[in-house]
Amino acid sequence: MLRSIADKTTQDVYDGVNSRHARKLPRSLHDKARRLLDQINAAPTLECLRMPPGNRLEMLHGDLEGCWSIRINDQWRIVFRWEAGDALDVRIMDYHR
pLDDT tens-digit series, residues 41-93: 999 999 999 988 889 999 999 999 999 999 999 999 999 999 999 999 999 99
pLDDT of residue 97: 67
The secondary element (H helix, E strand) that includes residue 92 is strand 86-94
Q: φ and ψ at 41, to 5 degrees?
A: -65, -35
C-beta separation of 21 from 33 below 8 A: no
Task: Sketch the domain layout of the chain as residue ranges.
Answer: 8-94
**For 10, which DSSP code?**
H
CA–CA separation, 88 and 80 (whole Å) = 6
Give the CA count within 13 Å in the CB-facing half-sphere of 22.
Answer: 16
CATH superfamily of domain region 8-94: RelE-like (3.30.2310.20)
| Model confidence, pTM | 0.93
